């Protein structure tokens, strides 16, 4: 297929490492589809796929997020086809918000234990996360159980199909309306009254079933493509870790004579390298959260205060933060110095780490590691930035506890830092800068593919549930 050639006949989305571009801007009503989606090729009219054609006899719905809708669809409110179930449950089969995947309607099994009881749900009820509704936590129940926490449990009346309703609630247009109504700043929720009084145009039951079945198939195909790309990211991340581990523990010359490092986990290191215990290499300080009741600590702050969210948002070199604190919030130990590192030591984030570019602080999930002054002139900080990937992995693999895992700090402090001569550290750091940049670029491209596929999935759902295409 030639570059920039439009793709037609989208009957079967193949498992190819490709990218769908500009799908959200497509003409959704032409009914053409594409057999193959290849890297960099524009995709036109994919929304029609193999079984849709332009809807006939549309009318203005008067509802902005719906737009035009088929003339034979009936105006109603959500309360006309859904009822809110508030029956308390004491079932031991419990689910929480973490068990519902954002935006897909999929159930995620977990070993988490949930305290207390919630609302009873039955098979085919719609379980809807009312907290932060932009997360699109929507699930068509596959079994009976106990929805613990911030859920609505909706039961379909005899005029609607549960799978169809699930897709309405997963649509971007519906979600934007719901999000616009939330109350509560820190814990935004939607009210059931607002939800149930929203207007909608409902198709006949047979047509609902047809649309839901069609979306099941098409979304399943797209989800398979997304899974392929997600596995690609996992493979690239594992490759990056392997490249870093090899360079930091064995150097760049595989022919160099080696000696035992003293650590079974590290193994051999090149002759001429030191193996310095972590506790002799770094000074440790724990992070903390200044009192939230002291508003002066959090008003017009200038000092970055880091949480895991900052690493997720900004990466592993931190300069700015989501939240700032004032100098009055800093304890006598002072701030964590620029050029030091933070390492997550508890919960599922164990081993996550970052280099601090600015003087700052972090919460209690982190410990701060500062290179000892006696080593300052012998250590390249970028080399140690890459070493933190090794230490982070070691923390994860030696963590203690299952319900609330935490790093075994005694074990961590006895771990070693493979320390080559300064010039060799700088050479390794330069090599890893270039190599990791290549890998990170591939990860970014793959993430963009996933986002495009998700947007495509969303546009398919919205156009189908609002009747822009006729599903045969």
> Which residues, at least 6 apart from 447, have a Cβ–Cβ distance to it below 8 Å?
233
Q: Distance between CA atoms of 258 and 273, rounded to whole angstroms?
A: 9
**Using 50, 70 and 90 to split pLDDT, how confident is the model at 2?**
very low
Residue 51 has pLDDT above 60, yes or no: no
Note the pLDDT of residue 111: 83
What would the pLDDT profile of 411-453 be if each residue is shown by its tens digit?
A: 999 999 999 999 999 999 999 999 999 999 999 999 999 999 9
Note the pLDDT of residue 404: 82
Note the pLDDT of residue 275: 96
Give the pLDDT mean for 209-231.
97
Residue 129, φ and ψ in degrees, nearest 5: -75, 110
Q: Whose CA is closest to 400, among 391, 390, 389, 411? A: 411
Q: Distance between CA atoms of 46 and 7, rounded to whole angstroms?
A: 8
Q: Distance between CA atoms of 281 and 258, rounded to whole angstroms?
A: 22
The neighbour count for residue 17, using CB atoms within 10 Å, is 13
Q: Whose CA is closest to 180, among 136, 134, 138, 135? A: 134
Do strands 151-156 and 126-129 pair parallel, antiparallel, or not at all (unpaired)? antiparallel
Mean pLDDT of the chain: 88
**Using 50, 70 and 90 to split pLDDT, how confident is the model at 468?**
very high
Note the pLDDT of residue 368: 98
In a 3-state reduction of DSSP, which class is residue 80? helix
If phi > 0 it is left, if psi is from -120 to 50 it is alpha, else beta; for residue 31 that is: left
In a 3-state reduction of DSSP, which class is residue 152? strand
Which tokens sit at 412? 């961590």
Note the pLDDT of residue 471: 84
Give the pLDDT mean for 89-102.
95
**Domain 74-202 grouped into CATH 3.40.50.11810:** no
Q: Distance between CA atoms of 285 and 391, rounded to whole angstroms?
A: 16
Note the pLDDT of residue 119: 96
What would the pLDDT profile of 349-372 be if each residue is shown by its tens digit?
A: 999 999 999 999 999 999 999 999
Is the CB of residue 318 less than 8 Å from the CB of residue 287? no
Q: Distance between CA atoms of 6 and 438, rounded to whole angstroms?
A: 30
- Do the domains spanning 74-202 and 252-419 agree at the CATH topology level? yes
**Using 50, 70 and 90 to split pLDDT, how confident is the model at 470?**
confident
Q: Whose CA is closest to 343, among 298, 390, 381? A: 390
Note the pLDDT of residue 56: 59
pLDDT more than 70, % of the chain: 88
pLDDT more than 90, % of the chain: 83
Residue 15 has pLDDT above 50, yes or no: no
Residue 240 has pLDDT above 60, yes or no: yes
Domain boundaries, the chain: 74-202, 252-419
**Using 50, 70 and 90 to split pLDDT, how confident is the model at 185?**
confident
DSSP 291-316: -TT-HHHHSS--EEEE-HHHHHHH-S
Q: Which H helix or E strand runs over 146?
A: strand 145-147
Note the pLDDT of residue 383: 98
In a 3-state reduction of DSSP, which class is residue 99? helix
Among 24-28, 130-134, 296-300, which stretch is predicted with the lowest mean pLDDT? 24-28
What would the pLDDT profile of 23-44 be if each residue is shown by its tens digit?
A: 333 232 333 333 333 333 333 3
252-419: which CATH architecture? Alpha-Beta Complex (3.90)
Q: Whose CA is closest to 98, among 112, 119, 116? A: 112
Residue with tokens 């309306």: 177
DSSP 8-state class, residue 64: T
Residue 177 has pLDDT above 90, yes or no: yes
Residue 428, φ and ψ in degrees, nearest 5: -65, -45
Is the CB of residue 284 less than 8 Å from the CB of residue 343? no
């Amino acid at each position: 297929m030639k570059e920039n050639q439009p793709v037609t006949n989208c009957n079967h989305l193949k498992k190819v490492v490709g990218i769908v571009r500009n799908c959200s801007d497509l003409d959704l009503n032409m009914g053409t589809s594409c057999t193959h989606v290849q890297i960099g090729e524009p995709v036109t009219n994919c929304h029609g796929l193999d079984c849709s054609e332009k809807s006939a006899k549309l009318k203005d719905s008067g509802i902005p997020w719906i737009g035009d809708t088929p003339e034979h669809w009936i105006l109603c409110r959500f309360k006309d086809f859904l009822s809110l179930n508030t029956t308390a449950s004491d079932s031991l089969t419990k689910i929480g918000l973490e068990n519902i995947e954002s935006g897909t309607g999929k159930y995620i099994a977990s070993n988490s234990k949930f305290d207390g009881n919630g609302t009873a749900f039955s098979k085919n009820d719609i379980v809807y996360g009312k907290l932060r509704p932009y997360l699109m936590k929507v699930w068509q129940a596959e079994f009976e159980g106990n929805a613990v926490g911030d859920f609505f449990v909706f039961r379909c009346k005899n005029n609607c199909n549960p799978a169809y309703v699930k897709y309405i609630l997963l649509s971007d247009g519906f979600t934007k309306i719901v999000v616009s109504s939330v109350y509560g700043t820190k814990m935004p929720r939607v009210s059931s009254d607002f939800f149930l009084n929203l207007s909608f145009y409902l198709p006949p039951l047979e047509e609902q079933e047809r649309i839901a079945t069609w979306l099941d198939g098409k979304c399943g195909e797209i989800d398979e493509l997304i899974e392929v790309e997600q596995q690609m990211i996992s493979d690239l991340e594992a490759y990056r870790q392997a490249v870093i581990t090899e360079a930091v523990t064995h150097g760049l010359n595989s022919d160099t004579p080696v000696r035992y490092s003293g650590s079974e986990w590290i193994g051999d290191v090149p002759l001429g390298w030191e193996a310095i215990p972590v506790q002799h290499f770094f000074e440790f300080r724990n992070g903390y959260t200044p009192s939230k009741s002291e508003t002066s600590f959090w008003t017009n702050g200038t000092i970055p205060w880091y949480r895991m969210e900052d690493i997720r948002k900004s990466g592993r070199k931190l300069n700015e933060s989501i939240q700032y604190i004032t100098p009055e919030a800093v304890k006598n130990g002072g701030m964590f110095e620029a050029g030091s590192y933070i390492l997550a030591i508890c919960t599922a984030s164990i081993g996550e780490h970052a280099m601090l570019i600015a003087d700052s602080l972090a919460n209690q999930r982190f410990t701060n590691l500062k290179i000892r002054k006696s080593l300052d002139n012998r250590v390249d900080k970028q080399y140690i930035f890459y070493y933190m990937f090794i230490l982070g992995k070691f923390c994860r693999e030696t963590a203690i506890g299952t319900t609330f895992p935490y790093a075994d700090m005694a074990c961590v402090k006895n771990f070693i830092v493979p320390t080559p001569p300064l010039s060799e550290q700088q050479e390794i750091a330069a090599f890893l800068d270039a190599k990791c940049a290549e890998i990170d670029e591939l990860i970014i491209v793959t993430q963009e593919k996933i986002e495009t596929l998700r947007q495509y999935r969303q546009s398919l759902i919205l156009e189908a549930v609002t009747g822009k295409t006729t599903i045969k």
